[in-house]
Chains A and B, each alone.
Chain A
Amino acid sequence: DGGITQSPKYLFRKEGQNVTLSCEQNLNHDAMYWYRQDPGQGLRLIYYSQIVNDFQKGDIAEGYSVSREKKESFPLTVTSAQKNPTAFYLCASSWGTGSYEQYFGPGTRLTVT
């Protein structure tokens, strides 16, 4: 089945540690995205990538880093510089820009204590 997978579903880390969230898609989509969602809030864009080896900052990129070495993979690293890392992280992909819809993964809930 085609889709987007994110792992793990739940992740716990100590403050001061970097953590990498996985996102893989087998939809052959060019564009991939990372969003953050806090309780009771909508989604906010962290980073996006339109093609391999290229990515752009979204609205809240500080404290995060990404890479796009393969078309199907777009991992997100939450660094120790991110002041409030505890959140629900969602990865998405789409055929391209503009009107195309985005397909979302199931999300990773990160808790940092």
Chain B
Amino acid sequence: DAKTTQPNSMESNEEEPVHLPCNHSTISGTDYIHWYRQLPSQGPEYVIHGLTSNVNNRMASLAIAEDRKSSTLILHRATLRDAAVYYCILRDGFGNEKLTFGTGTRLTIIP
């Protein structure tokens, strides 16, 4: 499986934008880039996903590099409720059922 690399932890001030990076240099042409986040003692929550183009939804934006070897999850205005572990995951678009979770990035929001 193609792997992802994320920083172990990041901090950001409340009400400021947050850019969470992810490297996936071995990504294949059929891999979708998914982001999930997990609050303490809860199940993960889907955030966003994309293939080639940048994507926006109500929660976040996903910026994908032109060569697709890296991506960035953007939280436009962080709140305390955004403090969580964020996982960047590659998922084969041709039906591979694996969502392979790494250890993710622990985001701390400073009031």
B17 CB-CB contact with A under 8 Å? no
Contact, CB under 8 Å: A107 / B43? yes
Q: B48 — nearest CB in chain A belongs to which residue? A: A101
Interface residues on A, range: 20 to 34
Q: Separation in Å of the B81 CB from the closest CB of chain A?
A: 17
Contact, CB under 8 Å: B99 / A102? yes
Q: How many residues of B contact A (CB 8 A)?
A: 25
Taking chain A's interface residues, is the majority helix, strand, or loop, or is none over half, making it mixed? strand
Q: Chain B contacts of A59 at CB under 8 A?
A: 98
B66 CB-CB contact with A under 8 Å? no
Q: A31 — nearest CB in chain B belongs to which residue? A: B97
Contact, CB under 8 Å: B103 / A102? no
- Per-residue CB proximity of A68-93 to B under 8 Å, as 1/0? 00000000000000000000101010
> 12 other contacts beyond A35-B101, A58-B98, A90-B44, with CB at 8 A cut-off?
A4-B43, A33-B97, A42-B104, A45-B97, A58-B97, A92-B43, A97-B96, A97-B97, A98-B32, A98-B94, A101-B34, A101-B46
